[in-house]
Structure 1
Amino acid sequence: MRASSRFFAALWWVPRGIVFGLLAFAIFGPLFNMLLWTVTEKWYFPHALPLEYGFSGWRKVFAPRGGALESLGNSLIVAMLTVLVSLALAIPAGYALARLKLPLRGLILLAFLMPQAFPNLTVYVNVARIFYEIGLNGTIAGVVLVHVSHGLVYAVWIATAAFSAIEPELEQAARSIGAGALRTFRDITLPLAAPGLLASAIFVFLESLDEFTGSYFVGAPDVNMLPLLLYSAGSGGNYQIASITALLLLIPSLVFMLLVERFLKADVLSRVGR
């Protein structure tokens, strides 16, 4: 019986191994295909692997007329400005929602989800029309404002959770020994909330870096962004350029997601919406 039970236990790993293998293929297969395209010179059906390898695609992307450096610079500038504006709004809003007994607090938090509640296409078409009338269409400032409307969802919710995770007694103790409200917030509250705020900034940065629809309707063709370059290359069938651009977008995303895993703790996530 023991031998047969060990045999069936070993067989039980077969379907599990197949499932895990399929999941790994579904996740890493497209990534491997993308990496192959970044160094491919010639590849067509029915060949399973590229016929020629090379780096001519990289030279085209980073050539002065390739637009990658300009797009990368614009994407980074817009993402950093989006983070700064979002945190400037989210820190006081998150602290107020965490500490003050506001009426309809849940509805206020839900209001920040409103930009996600409607199809982006219909929203951005009208935003582009309004921005065109006031001179913001085709500008960095206009693109940043559109990205902030989405970034505030992450910024406010995570900031509220980060401040809620701090025990009020710590602030009360600082106030009891003579620290003012501003100094208590600067020396006690803000450093303790810093990991959550950093995670919030990373989420906003990644959301801005990958945003396509708002960048297209508000920024194009004057403000070139990496997602727009990726779309143009992919729709034109230039898979080498599209894959290299996708890799440029993927690298910071992976780095920042590792930072999120490091700084965003479970006790902070557990307080979201509370």
Structure 2
Amino acid sequence: MSTIDHVPSQPRALFAIDWFWVPRAVILGLLAFIIFGPLTNLLLWTVAERWYFPHVLPLEYGLSYWGRVFSPRGTAMESLSNSIMVATLTVIVAMALAVPAGYALARLKLPFRALILLTFLIPQAFPNLPVYVNIARIFYQFGLNGTVAGVVLVHVTHGLVYAVWIATAAFSAVDTELEEAARSIGAGPIRAFRDVSLPLAAPGLLASAIFVFLESLDEFTGSYFVGAPDVNTLPLLLYTASSGGNYQIASITALLLLIPSVGFMFIVERFLKSDVLSKVGH
């Protein structure tokens, strides 16, 4: 009777570690902490009643500061309404200028077209502080300081670069043959623009308007030098609360500014297509 030698098999490891993913996991964890850490801290401050060093978490939680912010005697609702009103007026004025300018830059063979586009970057090319100080001095001579009109004009100069560049890209992405086909069957230039080009460029124009709205909603420096203290906006309230040590009110105000920004960016991501983005600056 032959004996078959039995060689015991090596036990398999129950959990195999892929060391290749360890540095990636560390990097992703650091990125998540950088992104969500401040947001978590912000959310904690909005419900913190008492929180001081060296405690890692708030000692008491509550919503009393929300009541203070939205109380009739508080200034948050006035600041919110002012911010929305100024941002809406800024969008109307900026788009009224950007739509014809973007269409002309996209369709007409203008001399120095690249230079014209670059001129809209001039407000972005210099530090905001000296620019707005000089604007405030000029506006004071015309009685625009401390007025909604003055704040809107400042916001328009700052947001016009987004409006014109994206509007130009939106109209550039529309095939010119579609307009020519409309013209060939009897449509005039205005009707061809209204019925063909404008509807096709509408998603890009909507994204442009959202960018201008968010830029105006978050604008602080221009609002401070031109509008304060007569035109109070949410960024000004945020600055006042944080500089005074009212971190709960500042965090609630920051959250009010964050919510529309995040929501609108999802809309922009949906409507601003790659064909429009490829035309930006061209």
Question: Are 1:19 and 2:21 matched, yes or no?
Answer: no
Which digits, 9 at most, give the CA deviation of each residue in 1:160-201, with x for residues without a partner?
A: 000000110000000000001111000000000000000000
Question: Are 1:77 and 2:119 matched, yes or no?
Answer: no
How far did 1:7 drift?
A: 5.7
Q: Corresponding residue for 1:147?
A: 155
Question: Are 1:181 and 2:189 matched, yes or no?
Answer: yes
- Partners in 2 of 1:196 and 1:140 — Cα distance? 28
Using the aligned pairs only, state the percent identity: 77
Greater percentage in helix? 1
Question: Are 1:190 and 2:180 matched, yes or no?
Answer: no
Q: Corresponding residue for 2:114?
A: 106
How far did 1:64 drift?
A: 2.2
Question: Are 1:31 and 2:31 matched, yes or no?
Answer: no
Aligned residue type for 2:66: W
How far did 1:130 drift?
A: 1.1
Rg comparison, structure with higher value: 2
TM, length-normalised to structure 1 = 0.97
Match of 2:237 among 209, 217, 229: 229
Aligned runs of 1:100-179 on 2, under 5 Å?
100-179=108-187
SS at match of 2:53: coil
- Partners in 2 of 1:103 and 1:164 — Cα distance? 17
Aligned residue type for 1:222: D
| Number of aligned residue pairs | 270
Structure 1: segments with no counterpart, 5+ residues: none
SS at match of 2:49: strand
Q: Corresponding residue for 1:203?
A: 211
Question: Are 1:57 and 2:65 matched, yes or no?
Answer: yes
- Partners in 1 of 2:125 and 2:24 — Cα distance? 38
- Partners in 1 of 2:185 and 2:121 — Cα distance? 40
SS at match of 2:214: helix
TM, length-normalised to structure 2 = 0.94
- Partners in 2 of 1:14 and 1:125 — Cα distance? 51
Aligned residue type for 1:46: P
